[in-house]
Structure 1
Amino acid sequence: MNGAVTRVLVADDQTVVREGIVMLLGLLPGIEVVGAAADGEEAVALVERHHPDVVLMDLRMPRVDGVEATRRIRAAHPQTEVVVLTTYADDESLFPALQAGARGYLTKDAGGEEIAKAIADVRSGAAGLSPQVQLRLLERLSESPVKSAPNSGTSGTSGTSGSPGGPTAPTAARAGGLPDGLTVREAEVLALIAEGLSNAEIAQRLFVSQATVKTHINNLFAKTAVRDRAQAVAYAFRHGITGTQQ
């Protein structure tokens, strides 16, 4: 995608904030702002009209809020990615947005470089989560003990026991069970998705082909009933499927 221009739509109900984001994006190379919406309902309509690659979405907006707008956009235009750009990083804002289909989540103290990286990340298939949001997800995980599911579908464990410098079994697997019939390898892939790795990076980390990674992703998406990588991230942290060592 070198040299490609990413078409971005901005949605924020505060005029000064919206205009400031548009001005900032206009200074970033490789980004073209195709529209600006004052609420979620207008954002949905402008996506229908302009078919942007990425929407920068505020959450607290009149008429239709950012979560519902994200849900509608992702359902009607799955090729359009959504990056939340909001003041709030609390659980009540974060998890509904990810479950609605947002692939990125930034707070409004993010700088231009961080916004550009999140846009590039979601365009490449990775999650565009700010360091603060990733920390909150980890804190949320540490606040609740992992619930072990019945031990099923845990075949194919070769190469996953955690040799020095290599991949380690996810924490949920080490706790004694994986949910929804996930295999250990599928859980490893899910944990790496939660770290924000792309398919190519996952393949490199696990020493397998990208085709194999895609197969694992398709299987785990079907088993967990998630629609995209952002929902997979939320699922991974909700069930304690991370590569964090004890």
Structure 2
Amino acid sequence: MSVPSKPICIALVDDYDVVLIGLAHMFDRYRDRIVVAEIDANQALNDEIDIVMYDSFAQPESDEKEIAALLKNPRASKVVVYTWNFQPELIESARKQGVHGYLSKALPARELVVALERIHDGDIVFTEAPRRAKSAMGLDWPGRREGITDRESEILALITQGKSNEEVAKLTYLSPNTLKSHIRSIYRKIGATSRTQAVLWGVEHGFTPDKHRIDHWMGGP
């Protein structure tokens, strides 16, 4: 792997600012190697980007469409999916679309940086499914400070978006019983006794998608 003559310029794409800001901060110690140019929430890319990282949090329905749009964007040299969902059909779909990487959220920051450098050098990097469900240290998500896990957060975000249990189970590849167990845990943590209360809590605590972008993150171009 060659050492880049200048830092690799990346853009982060997701519908939730808190998720993206947590990811951006993971690169703070590696700014000589990785520069976050912009954080994107449903907007087109403005800067010339070496790698786009598409975070799949709470938007599995739109993955194929959004990834396809990013791959066609002339400003995005390479596109990487950043996820904890390693269902075989999702991985195969990403391969067929031509993404340049499929990276696990369980990767420590140093390994994530190395993977991005390999991709920048021309490698196609698909990491193995994580042995554990936990995300890498430093990431953030809605409800984390209330004790909600990353997986529970995605479920509550989908519920807040108006998805039924059947739809959530399909989108998250969970069995109905496993999903119900997660929902009971969520309700307990937020003090909800009904779906309506859970949705209202979600709306008030950042579980609805954001609709703006953050340009030039931390001195990026």
| Counterpart amino acid of residue 55 in structure 1 | V
| Residue 71 of structure 1, CA deviation | 1.3
* Cα root mean square deviation, aligned: 2.4
Give deviations 1:102-159, integer Å, cap 9, x for gaps.
11111211111121112111111111221338xxxxxxxxxxxxxxxxxxxxxxxxxx
| SS across alignment from 1:132 | coil
Q: Is the alpha carbon distance of 1:121 and 1:108 closer, same or farther for their aligned partners in structure 2, counting shifts above 3 Å?
A: same
Q: Answer whether contact 1:58 1:66 (CA < 8 A) is retained.
A: no
Quote the residue 2:123 is aligned against: 126
Quote the residue 1:108 is aligned against: 105
| SS across alignment from 2:129 | helix
Quote the residue 1:7 is aligned against: 9
| Counterpart amino acid of residue 13 in structure 2 | A
Equivalent in 52, 55, 68 of residue 58 of structure 1: 55
Give deviations 1:76-98, integer Å, cap 9, x for gaps.
32861111111201023211122
| Residue 19 of structure 1, CA deviation | 0.9
| SS across alignment from 1:95 | helix
| Residue 70 of structure 1, CA deviation | 2.0
Structure 2 residue 71 is the aligned partner of structure 1 residue 69: no
Q: Is the alpha carbon distance of 1:71 and 1:103 closer, same or farther for their aligned partners in structure 2, counting shifts above 3 Å?
A: same
| Counterpart amino acid of residue 24 in structure 2 | V
Structure 2 residue 82 is the aligned partner of structure 1 residue 85: yes
Q: Is the alpha carbon distance of 1:128 and 1:63 closer, same or farther for their aligned partners in structure 2, counting shifts above 3 Å?
A: closer
CA distance in 1, matches of 2:116, 2:51: 7
CA distance in 2, matches of 1:108, 1:63: 15
Q: Answer whether contact 1:73 1:80 (CA < 8 A) is retained.
A: no
CA distance in 1, matches of 2:40, 2:111: 22
Q: Share of identical aligned residues, percent? A: 21
Q: After the TM superposition, which residues 190-201 of structure 1 pair with which residues of structure 2 at under 5 Å, given as runs?
A: none
Count of residues paired in the alignment = 127
CA distance in 1, matches of 2:11, 2:90: 21
Quote the residue 2:28 is aligned against: 26
Bigger fraction of residues in helix: 1
CA distance in 2, matches of 1:60, 1:128: 20
TM-score normalised per structure 2: 0.51
Larger radius of gyration: 1
| Residue 62 of structure 1, CA deviation | 4.8
What 5-or-longer segments of structure 1 have no aligned partner?
A: 134-246
Q: Is the alpha carbon distance of 1:119 and 1:26 closer, same or farther for their aligned partners in structure 2, counting shifts above 3 Å?
A: same
| Counterpart amino acid of residue 67 in structure 1 | E
CA distance in 1, matches of 2:128, 2:28: 24
What 5-or-longer segments of structure 2 have no aligned partner?
A: 131-221
Q: Answer whether contact 1:104 1:129 (CA < 8 A) is retained.
A: yes
